[in-house]
């Protein structure tokens, strides 16, 4: 873990909570399925703010529902 902590996407949990299929989210957020899966697995180097905005709209959620900060361990 970084000395500054990490940012983790909670997208997979939010998708399950919403009950909306990944296919429907891809359509609503105008994303490819592979891109959505990478975001779900936290397998991205840089977060695209436009993508996050589209995901929030597609899932009808707030940004804090998708992102969490995990502080460094002492």
Does position 51 have pLDDT exceeding 80, yes or no? yes
pLDDT number for residue 3: 84
Question: What are the pLDDT digits (tens) for 19-50?
Answer: 999 999 999 999 999 999 999 999 998 999 99
Position 70 confidence tier, pLDDT thresholds 50, 70, 90 = very high
Task: Give domain limits for the chain.
Answer: 6-68
pLDDT at 66: 97
Of 10 and 73, more confident = 10
Flag whether pLDDT at 1 surpasses 90: no
Is it true that domain 6-68 has CATH number 1.10.260.40? yes
CA dist 49 → 2, 12, 56, 67, 72 (Å): 22, 18, 10, 12, 24
Alpha-carbon gap, residue 7 to 71, rounded angstroms: 9
Block residue for tokens 């361990």: 73
């Amino acid at each position: 873990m970084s000395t500054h902590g990490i940012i983790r996407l909670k997208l997979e949990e939010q998708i399950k909570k919403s009950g909306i299929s990944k296919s429907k989210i891809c359509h609503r957020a105008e994303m490819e399925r592979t891109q959505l899966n990478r975001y779900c697995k936290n397998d991205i180097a840089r977060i695209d703010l436009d993508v996050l905005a589209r995901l929030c709209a597609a899932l009808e959620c707030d940004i804090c529902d998708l992102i969490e900060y995990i502080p460094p361990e002492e």
